[in-house]
Amino acid sequence: MMTSKLALAALFSMTVALPAAAQLAQNDELRARLPPEILKSGQMVSVNNGSFPPYQIVEGTELTGATRDLSDAIGQLLGVEITHTSVAGLPAVLTGIASGRYTFAIGPVGDYPDREAANDFVDWVKEYVVFGVQSGNPAGITDLAATCGKRIAVMAGGSAEGVINTQSANCVAEGKPAVEVQSFADQPSSILAVRSNRSDAFFSSQAPLTHFVQQSGGALELAAVGQDNGFGDIHQGAVVPKDSPLGPVLLDAFQILMDNGTYKEIMTKWGLEGNMTDAPGINLAGKEAAQ
């Protein structure tokens, strides 16, 4: 999720750091379980697709947000340096990890059963999908069914894009106008389309939309909050190559951060208390779908 200006930042890696008070001791047992290539290099490269606030806020070559703080804490536990690089679009993130080009993505990235075919997900947050609209909700988008004939911005390749396309087909089947689905490569471009009245709403995760609303000076608000909007329980997390030993290592690292209070401290710092999960898990979406 990058603007054209931020695309240049993809050529650089960004080393993250937390304040000194948050330094954690290396966990030798976890470190010993890392894949040999990581132990040899002492580095892990986490890939993202640009700003996903307040988790990932990319400005030039600088990364801030909850993801930055959590990745640094995990790096301290594992005794490795975690650097970050940005690519254009979620598909590039997922295929880049599956092919081994990048070590992992700390995310959070949506965990869905179809995505688990090529990658494993270490889920560490829960999420909801709502609409970001202009203040006063002039298009009257109160739920997913109210999007017929509306201009809806979504992230290209994301789960919301699939849901809104299905809804558009439902609209047509009911004799109503199709949804005008507008797919963007990054979050800032999507929300800008709403603010400039080129889109009626941005259909996306509640956490980043809340951030954009808070930063809008009253120009934006959330709509259809508290509804499933075409989604069941949504798990989001880190992404690793399929069957990689890194997955269980990250699972235990997140559990340590939850047990020692670091996870809660970081999530609270970024206003994400409502997205906290009680325990991390691997491929939770697929496990729930199989029940």
Closest listed residue to residue 84, CA positions, set 103, 108, 99, 66: 103
Gyration radius of the chain's alpha carbons: 19
- The single-letter code of the amino acid at 207 is A
217 CB-near residues (< 8 Å, 6+ apart) = none
The per-residue pLDDT for range 130-148, each reduced to its tens digit, is 999 999 999 999 999 999 9
The per-residue pLDDT for range 159-201, each reduced to its tens digit, is 999 999 999 999 999 999 999 999 998 888 999 999 999 999 9
The per-residue pLDDT for range 97-132, each reduced to its tens digit, is 999 999 999 999 999 999 999 999 999 999 999 999
Q: Is 192 exposed, middle or buried (0-12, 13-18, 19+ CB in 10 A)?
A: middle
The per-residue pLDDT for range 6-40, each reduced to its tens digit, is 333 332 333 333 343 458 999 999 999 999 999 99
Per-residue DSSP letter, 104: B
Judged by DSSP in three states, 42 sits in coil
Closest listed residue to residue 250, CA positions, set 112, 126, 81, 123: 123
How far lies 241's CA from each of 47, 104, 132, 185, in Å?
Answer: 13, 7, 33, 23
Helix axes 246-259, 262-269, angle to 10 degrees: 80
The per-residue pLDDT for range 60-81, each reduced to its tens digit, is 778 899 999 999 999 999 999 9
CB 116 within 8 A of CB 283: yes
13 CB-near residues (< 8 Å, 6+ apart) = 45, 83, 84, 85
pTM of the complete model beyond 0.85: no
C-alpha 253/C-alpha 259 separation (Å) is 10
